[in-house]
Structure 1
């Protein structure tokens, strides 16, 4: 009989050893008298318990006494509401818990270590205690708690802001809105979140919002503009609308904040940096045709990008200078301030944003931070987006001595859908325009209608855009030329090069947005009327 009992005990111990190898825990098994029967697994979790105690026959009281001696007194006090904990009281509490059918509790050791105890008393009086290191679990729970609290705080802060704020996903779906935005659109949060601009606004407004959102997600451009907003009750208010991208690649979001002009007089966000800016009212914004002569400072360590940005900005008539780091930026701005020279905008490589933010804020210069490649390839559009356009610049400046046949814009476009897009945008701006469906017709309409600017799609039938541009230049050789802007579907260098080689003055990419189109129209018309085209 004893041999059978011994054999059964050996098999049980063997099974427990296997379980201990699988579970990253220490396992203690004890009898009805609270004497140890088995101890195995990661017994080092039990801290300073000598191995001589972890043998069959040892009283659990002696093991608990050793555990208590290894505990941090500060931990014991914090766990017991700072009351004095004696050794005997602590051991008595632990022994009492061993006789409960099921007990689970955590015990903190040190500043960031947690031990979990799972105790079970079986119907036959035998008990099992599993001890494991739960530090990782508790740290995850703490991070989750802190993250949840942070989200709740951010939501409360957003709801307390007096102006509308919304966040859209990379697919332009609303994922967060504050109470002011809900009031602005006249809907509840549950009716907005999960929707797109086309679900909330009129088609023309929705297309503009979605077009701008896609550009911000794609390019990371931060846009600040003055707009006249209409609420659900029909009232209108001037506001500074700021749009910028947040998040990481693959998880970008667009944030839009609409601050009433009266509430934004002292300080705000320009680009993606928090910097102080000079007070700007809706009537004081820099019109795009006023960029000529403005001073733009390019900050980047990439010489190629700096040269490309400088060339592009010069084509707008802006004066540019280049610095490569925060120290040079501070020196430049200090010298400029001492000399009474105002810097109108800083175009900055986003990798230098953190180190250069302080200097920009100190000297109160508006900043936009962009990717290095953005500085080089899209400086024209960036400046067009950053410089505010006043409400008086929406209408084109009148052409001298117009006739009924003269038009402002000739659009050479064969795609019916794109023709509609151009028509809607140009009608909204109040321009007189005509549309040519092929290159031959474009040359004829240019000759007959004397447009102030030509938007030339390069893939036209009968005569492509390159040939049509060359033909127009031949017919108008020697005189002030009509600005011709190439419209490309793809940003291929060979197409851009051929546009300029054929005599075009600028290039824009499809899809066309109202902001993009207005920027190039105002810029090129101004150059033409100044006799520089």
Structure 2
């Protein structure tokens, strides 16, 4: 008998490590005296511990102390982690360690979830495992969100007053709302899975199926006005619209019967609006064309002298009712005392009355496209010309700019509006918090066009537990920056479509409108002084050179993200 290790100990350890690699798990083994017997080499992927804390024979208390000192506080509610003391946390972990079984899934980083398992064997040995279940958690969250959206969508469809049905490519009903069921006097089970031939007479079934197949085959929407006898004998006047939706290999047919019964009535063999129906002007949705037109028009009215318009007397001279509405509305919003005249004769009459009353006119905004504008321009008054028809190319450039700020920065009544990203998908937000703009959804944005370097960045950032997105060129980098507002940007200098310098300049310009600033670090293949100066001149905060390493990325992250969070917390 000897106290020496078995000659097969190293082989067994390697086999154990290989099994842990395959399972993607980290394993600790403690003896009955709570001393470490084995720690797999995957520990560093889960816990940032000094290797000296993982030597065989180390006490459990010392291992837990090293974990606490590394900044981890698992087993404690997130809001309490900064309050718990070192000794209390270690004592609680030791108590859990001595349970026969212990399972918990906890969040250890911004986007990382770990499954902790502990088993106490009859001989007193303890086996503890850690497994990364982040992807599984994301899939569960996505599945749960999809289920909530599906349930919400069904509720919304059921509240619609218009009958609606969805058919699959075989023209069998797969979904329908409450209004459709009520119109036919049938429950959903009596309709779902059945075709129109099971619900109406053959003549009408053939007519309906013909238009259904035409829409599915061509994708061209179909519309027809119909008079339908409902199950209760009443008449339903409807505009039936059919649309193809879904993927090309699994299309569905959406049919909406727009119920107009309440607003029409038979009259002389046709339908007419009921006499008591009166349409009122409604609130229009945001019109980007009108917003750009307004912005460019008002830019012509600016001057250093007119920065503060409160209380100033301004006369608008234009025969264009739309221009009058736009300009007067803006001037009134800024507190100006203003009005408008629509011709040279009205202008003369207004000036004469103002002179007789002793009222001075401090500024005249004159439409240069109005007949007789030359006479007004020669009046002995401060005149500023506006040219609605001269917007030209500026109008179209502003209109197609994908992320144009539609509201003036210095508008006291509205903040800057940022257009949604071109990469956004339509979705239903199920919580009120989701309606607020997403700021800092990801921690790091990497702009890199080389696939190998993209992989390297992803591996390093995932290993550090840092959430990130990768842009393949400068254009995409700017778009993703606008969408996610990351805490740090790692910007490659040489990229297609738009290089890193130009992308940085565009981001910095947008930040002036939004009132934010994101640290941008240049990533270069060479570190020449002239290149570094160009990066700094463009507004970058620092630079690193390729090839990148985990230590390099961690240093930059700590400098610009972790440090700023520490200052904010202080």
Higher RCO, 1 vs 2 (CA within 8 Å, ≥6 residues apart): 1
TM normalised by structure 2 equals 0.44
TM normalised by structure 1 equals 0.47
